[in-house]
Chain A
Amino acid sequence: MEPGHSLGAAVLVGGGVMAAVDEIVFHQLLQWHHFFDQSTPMIGIFSDGMLHAAELIILVAGFFWIARLARRQALIPSWTRAGLLLGMGGFQLFDGIVDHKLLRLHQVRYGVELLPYDLAWNLCGLVLLLIGVWLWRRAAAAAR
């Protein structure tokens, strides 16, 4: 059994799912921001296209990895759950801290008081990540 594989595959799927939620809800439906807002709308649209392609590839790759593990009966559900939450929380928090604040690629929304949006965004990511860490430790403890 390779718990690392179950974890890694699920991290890919979790990250891809969260990126897809961000891209579909906030970029396409609400149109609050693009991936890169420091330039023209044209560049913004182009950067979203790349995000979209990357998230689809990561999602499909993760699903294939999980399917392959499942076929070999090497998929461990407790590690997979942990990886899913780690991937989701990890992406959300990375996006919120690194993309939004450090690199300042884009903000959650424009023309509003940003603090509540940033807090909601990052707390959401932190909660998901902490649940992931908790599940991970529980899976590791059970494996011992």
Chain B
Amino acid sequence: MLVLTLVVAAQIAYLVGLQRQWRRGRPWSFWRLLALLAGTSMVLFAISPPVMLHAHQDLRGHMLQHLLLGMFAPLLLVLAAPVSLLLRTLPTAGARALVAVLRSGPLRLLAHPLTALLLNLGGMYLLYLTPLYAASLGSPALHWLVHWHFLAAGCLFTWAILAGPDPAPHAARAWVRLGVLFVAMAAHATLAKLMYGFGWPRGTHHGLEEIQAAAQLMYYGGDLAEMLLLGLLFARWGRRRGCAGRPTGGPVALPCVSK
């Protein structure tokens, strides 16, 4: 219920910001709105009670949730450019404060592709190759934490790799971002195969066949999401050579921070 409220609140906030932009006669891409609605709907679907129940009983259901929350929804949510909309909508003082937060040391460290990689893939290795997954089945609080971590780490990672459309606190060089994505793809494929081959996560009621089917879903579903992310990265690469070619999404106050 709390989650439903949060997601709907985020949708309403986005729509309010959008309406202000329109009223001031400033354009905002229709596709971004569509991305937000699709992304938030995907989150709501993934955590809806029937899907939750299914995921609790069947690891394939859990894996579908993992793919939606950690990979596909973040793609859509990052493409919706909520930070840019917030920067445009906030009064000047508020926008300045937000920019200061975005450019602060801790956030730049958090948003570095390597940190995002560690949080995203490290979290997955920790979840599936340790008793953490089994523990999460028994503890509702831990269970929620796992799901929110998937979503948050997925968004952070997608944002760090694309370095846009929102101004990224740490816009690493495109080659660095591609390299980190390469490591993430290899690590994701490796983890899925380790689960398939060695029957992780262990200590649960899931049978080996079910785990293998879930690992396959993770492997191929992950491929699809990673190829979409790769496509977006390459599509932005051409448009954005250095800082001169920055997409003009509006008067975004962040100066170029890529070296």
User: Does A associate with B in a complex?
Assistant: yes
In the complex, the answer to whether B227 meets A45 with C-beta atoms within 8 Å is no
**What are the residues of chain A within 8 A of B188 when measuring CB–CB?**
49
Instruction: Give residues 126-181 of B contacting A (CB, 8 Å).
Output: 178, 181
Binding site secondary structure of chain A: helix
Once A56-B230, A60-B230 are accepted as A-B contacts, the answer to whether A48 and B185 lie under 8 Å apart by CB is no
Kindly state the separation between the CA atoms of A16 and B13 in the bound complex, as whole angstroms.
Answer: 44
In the complex, the answer to whether B185 meets A52 with C-beta atoms within 8 Å is yes
Once A50-B186, A53-B189 are accepted as A-B contacts, the answer to whether A45 and B230 lie under 8 Å apart by CB is no
Which of B181, B184, B185, B194 is within 8 Å of A45, CB to CB? B194
Interface string of B217-232 (1 = CB under 8 A from A): 0000001001100110
**What are the residues of chain B within 8 A of A56 when measuring CB–CB?**
185, 223, 226-227, 230
In the complex, the answer to whether B238 meets A57 with C-beta atoms within 8 Å is no
**What are the residues of chain A within 8 A of B186 when measuring CB–CB?**
46, 49-50, 52-54
In the complex, the answer to whether B178 meets A57 with C-beta atoms within 8 Å is yes
**What are the residues of chain A within 8 A of B223 when measuring CB–CB?**
56
**What are the residues of chain B within 8 A of A101 when measuring CB–CB?**
none
**What are the residues of chain A within 8 A of B194 when measuring CB–CB?**
42, 45
B206 contacts the other chain (CB 8 A): no
**What are the residues of chain B within 8 A of A4 when measuring CB–CB?**
none
A61 contacts the other chain (CB 8 A): yes
Once A56-B185, A57-B182, A57-B185 are accepted as A-B contacts, the answer to whether A49 and B227 lie under 8 Å apart by CB is no
**What are the residues of chain A within 8 A of B234 when measuring CB–CB?**
60-61, 64
Tell me which of A41, A48, A64 has the highest count of chain B C-beta atoms within 10 A of its own C-beta.
A64
**What are the residues of chain A within 8 A of B184 when measuring CB–CB?**
53
B197 contacts the other chain (CB 8 A): yes
Kindly state the separation between the CA atoms of A53 and B184 in the bound complex, as whole angstroms.
Answer: 8
Tell me which of B190, B197, B235 has the highest count of chain A C-beta atoms within 10 A of its own C-beta.
B190
Q: Report which A residues bind B (CB closer than 8 A).
A: 41-42, 45-46, 48-50, 52-54, 56-57, 60-61, 64, 68
Q: List 17 A-B contacts (CB under 8 A).
A: A45-B193, A45-B197, A48-B189, A48-B193, A49-B189, A49-B190, A49-B193, A50-B186, A53-B182, A53-B184, A53-B189, A53-B226, A54-B182, A54-B186, A57-B178, A64-B231, A64-B235
